[in-house]
Each structure stands twice: as structure tokens, then as C-alpha cells.
Chains A and B, each alone.
Chain A
Amino acid sequence: MLLSGKNALITGTARGIGNAMLHVFAREGANIWAFARTPSENFEADCRATADKYGVWIKPVYCDLSDTATIKEAFKQVMADKQPLHILVNNAGRMDEDKMFQMTAEAEMRAIFDTNFFGTMELTRPATRLMARAKQGAVVNVASIAGLDGDSRLDYSASKAALIAATKKLAREMISLGIRVNAIAPGLTDTALVKDLSEKVEAEQLEKVLMHRKAQPEEIAEVAAFMASDRASYVTGQVWRVDGGIL
């Protein structure tokens, strides 16, 4: 198994790509601190069933990445387990309805950045220090092709571009501590985040994709699992497009 014996912290695991990661990482043998924003019995049942199915432990941890205090409290729960942390997947993100820059209020832009960038960095800080204790680790940041191509709303695209730049800088800083830092950049993926797209917009986007279809969340999760695994031991500071072929 790709991740046997590894302990992973994954954010945004209650739905979408993060939930697919929960299942794929567990299938590959990883124990998981499953971060989610909102407490839910369904989510906890999913964690229990997945853990039982694959013989790993999965611990739900609740945290709002736009709230520094909850990030700190959540990470204390991770520390309290006194287990090494091998993998951090910064998956949680926020994307609001598509709108033009001139129609986007500053408060909206800041809210997007709070979750997609600042909150993610606030979690990355203690997580990489925990990894540094063992002088090994892998961080996978879930960016977006919007961060490379600027083809979504401005604040979302810019926040993901910031995450990509942070990936490269962190890779430089962390390599001496044995930590690899990479990003994946998913294209249009079949999740609730894109459910609100009009058929016209979706068709326009898919026209650019060689495969002419959206990704399934599992297809993104599989790439993240590889990037997090030791099989990618010579890969750091990279951004891997998982977009069905946009050339």
C-alpha cells in the first residue's frame, strides 16, 4: 500500500475532493486526522466505517480555517495524540459564486483569502514543525488551475496563486528539514463547489479540456496520495495539473 504506516492530516474531508482523499488515503493504509468545519454525525459515521473497512484510525477534528483560534485548538488535539505527522494535505478551500471583480466587495475577497491562504498557512506552521521533529514529511497543497490560468473569480484565482507561490517558497525552506512540499492544481471537478456553475459556463470550460469531462474527486485524490507518498521522494516544489488535458 502506498501510505502504509503514515499518519496524515487532511483538511476539508467532509465532502468533495477532501472526502475522496479520506477514502483513498485510508485505502492506501494511512491513519488520518480528518479535519472538517462543521460537526456532523454523518461525517463521523463515515470516518468510523472507513477506518473499520481499511484497518486504520481516523479521527474527526473540527476547525474553521478562517478562525485562527479554532486552528490552534484543533492542532492541540493532534499534538495530544503524541503521534508523528508524516503528511499534511491542505485541501479545504472556499469558492463563492462566480462574479466580476468590480462586483466583488473587499470583505468577500478577504474572506476567500482567510480560508484559502491565511488559514492554510496558520495550520501549515505547527504541522511542519511537528514533521520537523522526525526530519521527514510531505505537504500537498490543493491549489487549482485557476491559480495558474486565472480563469475563475479574481479572489479565488489569486488565493490559489498565492498558495502555489507559497508551495515553492516552502519547498525551499523545508527541504533541509526533510519535508517535501508540492501542490496539485485540479481542473473542473464534480463537487458541490462547481454545482452552481451554469450549463453554459460549464460547457465553455469543458470545451478546453481534452477529455471533455469533469474530474471525479477520486481522480484528484489518487494524485494527491501519490504526491504524499514516498514514491514521490524526489519531487518537491512542483505544481501538478490534474485537469483532463488543458493545453
Chain B
Amino acid sequence: MTNLEKYINAFVEALEVPAEDVAALVYGESTAWDSVGHMSLIAALEDAFDIMVDMDDIIDLSSFEKGKEILAKYDVEL
């Protein structure tokens, strides 16, 4: 599985949304990505890429695209 596939899969599993929907996701704009879903998503990303996300980045991770930028800080290339 590529890193991009792992990234998409984290959204699919944590937020229980179809893979084709994840690219348009924005935090707080759907019932799937609420605060509880956000914590599941962070846990899934940490698990998938074996990283420990800083508090500021947890707050900043507000969209699918923003998440890519944040993961780059942890040397995860998508």
C-alpha cells in the first residue's frame, strides 16, 4: 500500500466515509468529521505512519489537503 493509499484509508476507517468522498472533506462540515471523528482520525494517522502528532498540528489538520501538508512535516511523503 502506498502512503497516499494509507492516508486515504485512515480517513475511510476513522470517519467511516467512502474513499471517493475523502478529498473534499473539511473538519466540522460533515457529521462524519466531528471532534470525536477527529480524534479517531489522528489516532489512525499516527498508527498508519508511526508518528506522534503535535498538539498544534492536531488543531491545524482541518481538511484532507491540509493533512498532506502536516504529514510532510513528519517526513511522510504522499
Judge whether B78 is part of the interface by a CB distance below 8 angstroms.
no
Residues of A contacting B: mostly? helix
Given A75-B52, A79-B52, A126-B52, the answer on whether A177 and B47 have CB atoms closer than 8 Å is no
From B40, B50, B52, B55, contact of A132 by CB (8 A):
B40
Judge whether B39 is part of the interface by a CB distance below 8 angstroms.
yes
Contact check, B36 vs A129: say whether CB atoms are below 8 A apart. no
Judge whether B44 is part of the interface by a CB distance below 8 angstroms.
yes
How many residue pairs bridge A and B at CB < 8 Å? Answer: 28
Judge whether A130 is part of the interface by a CB distance below 8 angstroms.
yes
Residues of B within 8 A of A (CB): 36, 39-40, 42-44, 46-47, 50, 52, 55
28 inter-chain pairs at a CB distance below 8 angstroms, sorted by A residue, are A72-B52, A75-B52, A76-B52, A79-B50, A79-B52, A82-B50, A125-B55, A126-B52, A129-B39, A129-B42, A129-B43, A129-B46, A130-B43, A130-B46, A132-B39, A132-B40, A132-B43, A133-B43, A133-B44, A133-B46, A133-B47, A173-B36, A173-B39, A176-B36, A177-B36, A177-B39, A177-B40, A177-B43
Q: A72-B52, A125-B55, A129-B42 are in contact. List 6 more A-B contacts (CB 8 A).
A: A75-B52, A76-B52, A129-B39, A132-B40, A173-B39, A177-B39
